[in-house]
Each structure stands twice: as C-alpha cells, then as structure tokens.
Amino acid sequence: MRRNSGRSSVWNFLRVTAVVFAASSLLLVASDNAPERVPSYVSWSQETLAAASAGDAFRGMLLAKRCDHCHGSEGFSATGSTPNLADMDELAIWKELEDFRSHKRISRAMEPIAESLSSRDVADVVAYYSKLPVYTDPQDNRNFPGSRPGPGHAAIASHLVAFGDGERGIPPCQSCHGPVAYRPGVPSLMTQNSEYVLSQLEAFANRSRANDINMPMRTISTLLTEDERHALAEYYGSGLGLQPGSSR
Amino acid sequence: MNWRKLRTFLLTVLVLCLIPATRYYQIDAPLLHFLKGSRDVDPLSLHLAGEFVENNLGTEQGADGSVTVRMIAQQYLFVPHCILVPAGVPVHLRITSADVVHALAFNGTDYNVKVLPGTISEAQLQFSSPGEFKTVCREFCGAGHYAMRSELKVVPRDQFPVLRSGERGNCAAQ
C-alpha cells in the first residue's frame, strides 16, 4: 500500500515536470520572436564610471608600449585608418576596449588585443592615453594634421559641427564630441585622423559598427549625405576643429 | 471689508485655476507617475534589457490591432528618428528619456508629452487624417536642443504595413 502511493507520487511528479517543461518551452518559443539586440554591455552607472577612471597611468604607460606600433609613441598614429589616442577622453577609450572585449565592436586587430587585457589593464592603458598631452613639437611620423578641405567642404563641415541641421534633425557635432559639451563615452574628435573618422561614419551608416548606445551615431550617419561625411572627416582630420571659427 | 475678502478669494481661485489650465494639453508625467504608482526604469541601462532595447523601439501592432509606439528621447535625438502610425486608430505612446528632461511635441497638433529620465511617459494619441508632422523637443535639454527634431508619418490604415510579432515599424532610413 505504502509502496503503491509512493509510485503514484513519482508519476505525479513526472507529470508536473512534463507540464512545466512544455509550458516553459512554449514560453521560450514565444519570447524567441524578438531576441533583444544589445549594442554594448556598457552602461554609465556610478560603478562603471569609477572603474573606468580608476586606472594607474604609469602602469598604463608600460602596458601601452605594445600599442605604440600602431597608435604611435606620442598617441598619434602613422596611418590614417588607425585612430589617434592622445588626450582622448578616458571613458571613450574604455568603452571601445570593453566593446572589443565583448565582441560588440568588430575589429580583427583590436578584439584579440582587448581580450588579452584584464579589466585593470584596460583602466590603466586608458588612464595613460587620456593623460598623454598633444605635444606642440611632434617627434614622431604622424598622419594627423591632414590637408585642409576645400572652401566648399570647410563651409559644409563647420556649419554641421557648429549648428547641425535643424530641418533634418541633425544635432551639432560639437554638442557631444566637444569642445562645447561631451557625453560619457563620446570621443573627442578634434585631433582625429580624417580617414578614421570617415571609415567610422560609413561603418555606422551601413551598420557594420553598431555599438552606439541608443543608436545616436547610426541615426545621424544615415541622415548625412556622402559629401557631408567626407567634409566632416576632412574638417576634423585637418585640425580645423582645434580652432573653431577659423575656417569661415 | 467684506468686499475686499471676496475679491481676494476670487483672485486666489483664478490663480489656482491657471495651474490646471496651463497643464490642460500636457500629459503631465510627474503627476501621472504620482497618481498611477511608480513605473521606474533605469535611464542608463535602457539598451541592456527590458522594454526599450533597440529592436523593440518603433511601432508595434498587437494581435488585437492595437498600436503601441515605443521611443527613447536622448540628447539630442528621438529614437527611432521617424515614426510611422496608421490614421484613425488610437495609438498608445510609451516614451522614456535616457538622460535629461525632454518634451515630445508634434508640430501642428496639441500633443505635448513630457519625458523624464527614470519613468515611462504614456499617452493616447489619435490622428484623424494622414499627414507628416515634425516632432520637436519643447523642453530645453542642452547645447543641441534646437536640432532635436524628428518626423511622424501618419499613413492611411490600408497603407500601414502588416507587422509580424517581433517586428517593429518605423520610417527611418535604414
């Protein structure tokens, strides 16, 4: 008798398990319709801000010796397709390295390098580059002040940088990328290579880069015309962004 | 003496009437928030999980034909940049802010939705005829505030695309 009731409770248990399993698999199928697309695992909470700005710049300098080959010993790269890192905002480099680590930003060169760094290494390297000054007497073979844009492109770009385009809903570049205002994780562009700026604008536009939180750059780069993208890249790459108003 | 009291009383009533009068066309999120209980969201991690992940933004069509629009307002963009809704159908709008206070308004209509970080602003909209409206931010939100504009396209009901579950409609250029 006792044995019998034990067996029936086992059957009951199995039946309940089967029902729970079926229900949960149905739920999973239902929720599978819209898998969440996460652009980046970074969120600018207080802990993140503290972790990103707690680096040791001296240790970062030693670690950054291996970055010199591409990003330059003074933080200015010799090739235009590689970004300059000198004086870059701490949070901006930190976010990109974290995105490379989590494969949210795709780069054949940077993903393995970022993966090899610990989170402490990332914070240290970031601290070093953010404190690296923009030397007035460069000793390296840098690409940076590129050729100046023609008058047409300079006018288009300086207007977009300073005022954006209210009709199309393009905010001014300088309201997030400086010097007027910055948002956390947004890079300063004033000393960036033109080739790199252009490649990133195009990557955002064709969605091959999609790690911008709440998609501001994917939206804006899609609204910009091909000509405007070139104009903006030439504007920033020639150092015009360092002296606002000089191009007019 | 009595006359003076009456005058003061009437003035007070008039001034108090001004407060709801200025709020009449505004869907007041703080007030709703207070009345309906909290609907907190973390403005810093909207993109990680929950209702406002990027592939859930835009127009959703429920199985019963109801239309819900989800948006994020942030410095200095509305996401998605162009919203598509059918005409003559009540549209349920759910919007939240990723950073500061914004106000979503459709030029040429009376709708003005205050958008606050940390809470979801809800509104019931209905557009009787097809058309295109400029969406603007009507709360100063920073250096690029004046360029914070996007579009709302109201299309006839039969031209509105049939959305599958999990699919979200918008008219932003892809």
Question: Is residue A37 in some structural domain?
Answer: no
Q: Specify the CATH number for the domain of residue A201.
A: 1.10.760.10
Q: State the best of A186, A213, A223 to mutate against chain B, taking most chain B CBs within 10 Å.
A: A213
Determine what percent of chain B is predicted with pLDDT higher than 70. Answer: 88
Q: Is A124 found in the same domain as A60?
A: yes
Does residue B99 sit in helix, strand or coil? coil
Containing structural domain, residue A88: 46-131
Q: What are phi and psi of A165, to 5 degrees?
A: -140, 100
Contact A166 B149 (CB under 8 A): yes
In a domain, A183, yes or no: yes
Q: For residue B48, give the chain A residue with the closest CA.
A: A38
Q: Does B153 touch chain A (CB under 8 A)?
A: no
Check whether B14 has a pLDDT greater than 70: yes
What is the mean predicted confidence (pLDDT) over B11-15? 93
Q: Which of A83, A101, A131 is the last residue of a domain?
A: A131
Among B48, B146, B174, select the one facing A166 at the smallest CB separation: B146
In this prediction, residue A1 carries a pLDDT of 44
Would you say residue A139 lies in a domain? no
The whole-number pLDDT of residue A131 equals: 92
- Residue B78 pLDDT exceeds 90: yes
In this structure, the answer to whether residues A54 and A112 fall within a common structural domain is yes
Q: Considering only the top CATH level, what class is B25-159?
A: mainly beta
- Residue B27 is predicted with a pLDDT of 58
Are A115 and A162 in a shared domain? no
Does A215 sit within 8 Å of B75, measured CB to CB?
no
Which of A103, A131, A159 is the C-terminal boundary of a domain? A131
pLDDT of residue A100: 94
Judge whether A157 lies within some domain: yes
Segments making up each domain of chain B, as ranges = 25-159
Q: Minimal Cα–Cα distance from A165 to chain B, Å? A: 6
Question: Rounded mean pLDDT of chain B?
Answer: 86
Domain identity same for A95 and A163: no
Examine the domain organization and report whether A126 and A52 are in the same domain.
Answer: yes
Q: Nearest Cα to B137, choosing from B105, B170, B171, B165?
A: B105
Per CB-CB distance under 8 Å, the chain B contacts of A181 are 142-143
Q: Picking from A134-148, B93-107, B115-129, which range would have the lowest pLDDT averaged per residue?
A: A134-148
In a domain, A31, yes or no: no
Are residues A191 and A118 part of one domain? Answer: no
Phi and psi angles of residue A182, each rounded to the nearest 5 degrees, phi first: -125, 155
What residue type is B75 in one-letter code?
Q
Same domain, A168 and A199: yes
Number of structural domains found in chain A: 2
Among A99, A131, A163, which residue terminates a domain?
A131
- What's the gap in Å between the CA of A235 and the closest CA on chain B? 20
For chain B positions 60-79, those within 8 Å of chain A (CB to CB) are 72, 74-79
Q: Tell me: do A55 and A108 sit in the same domain.
A: yes
Q: What pLDDT shows up at residue A248?
A: 37
Do A108 and A190 lie in one domain? The reply is no
A33 touches chain B (CB under 8 A): yes
pLDDT band at residue B163 using 50, 70 and 90 as cut-offs: confident
Q: Are A120 and A157 in the same domain?
A: no
Predicted confidence pLDDT, tens digits, chain A (248 residues):
455 555 667 777 777 767 766 666 555 544 445 578 899 999 999 999 999 999 999 999 999 999 989 999 889 998 989 999 998 999 999 999 999 999 999 999 999 999 999 999 999 999 999 999 887 777 888 888 888 898 999 999 999 999 999 889 999 999 999 888 888 899 999 889 999 999 999 999 999 999 999 999 999 999 999 999 999 999 999 988 886 544 43
Q: Do B77 and A165 touch (CB under 8 A)?
A: no
For A218, nearest residue in chain B (alpha carbons): B174
The whole-number average pLDDT for the span B54-70 is 88
Residue A130, token pair as written in the block: 């953010």
Please check whether residue A3 lies inside any domain of the structure.
no
| Domain-located, residue A25 | no
